[in-house]
Amino acid sequence: MKTITDRLLLGFAWFAGMATLLVVAILVLYLLGRGGKTINLALFFGDTPWLEAFLGKQPVFDGIWPALAGTFLLVVLSSAIAIPIGIASGIYLAQYASGRIRAFLGFLVDLLAGTPSIIMGLFGFTLILTLRRTVLPEARTGLLLAAACIALLVLPYLIRTTQVAFDAIPEHLRLLGPSMGLSRWQNIRRILLPLASRGILSGAILAIGRAAEDTAVILLTGVVAQAGIPRSLTDKFEALPFRVYYLAAEHRSQEQLDQGFGTALVLLFLTVALFLSAMIFQRSAEKRWRLR
């Protein structure tokens, strides 16, 4: 029989969940109301023919296509850097590190997780200045530096989610591999990793969303207005979060401000699309592991 405390906690949980959904719904509806009318080809490509802009034959100066492409490249590149390192580090902490080493490395991971994004941007900017004065005079900010700093920003989440996913595996399943004569690595690869895959891929999904929306890091590491689509990893680039910030701070008309809301709506849709793609990959990976 439920006590009064249980009912109060249950009611508060329902209230918190419904309040969160209500806030999200209000935010989306507000963005749709302010920016939905600007969602058209002109928002993406301006006066440039869309096919010419999509193929990179003509530059786009008054549309968000370069920012959309820059955000996509930034997310893909930072994820390619952070996800393998984060998963490998989490596996090491969960399965190999022990005692003081695990506690010390865990403290460093938590310290990195608490680092503000602007500090990470300053780190990247300082790194470029140091390289210019020492071994690489031609070093400059660009897409690669921004992706590396974003990767450092999301790395702690990947490490911790991987470690927690491995630690949550029941003890009898941990002993299944050794009881069948598998080595430690074989046990991790064939048994523990598939069991922990849901938690690991959930952390990867969160990391992708974090990489898509951060602005402070890229402000100091290579993003500029009207940079166009980057042709190399060292080129300057545009990004949707910076475009929203730029239009909100520097708009000169109501139309430009509405374009900022439309850009925010596109960023929201892009994030949802990345989340859905990651979830589809997660389910397909789980099916493949189950069939092995």
Domain ranges of the chain: 39-291
Return the CATH number of the domain spanning residue range 39-291. 1.10.3720.10
Which of the two residues, 202 and 121, has the higher pLDDT score?
Answer: 121
Q: Report the mean per-residue pLDDT for the chain.
A: 85
Pair 45, 259: CB distance under 8 Å: no
Nearest to 153 by CA among 125, 199, 118: 118
pLDDT at 77: 93
Residue 82 confidence class, pLDDT cut points 50, 70, 90: very high
Q: What is the pTM of this model?
A: 0.84
Residue 290 has pLDDT above 80, yes or no: no
As given in the structure block, the two tokens for residue 34 are 């302010």
Residue 262 pLDDT greater than 60, yes or no: yes
Distance CA 208, CA 286 (A): 19
Residue 105 and residue 237: Cα distance in Å, rounded?
Answer: 34
pLDDT tens across 134-171, in order? Answer: 888 888 888 999 999 999 999 998 999 999 889 888 88
Q: Looking at the predicted structure, is the pLDDT value of residue 292 above 60?
A: no
**DSSP one-letter code for 141:** -
- The one-letter code for the residue type at 257 is L
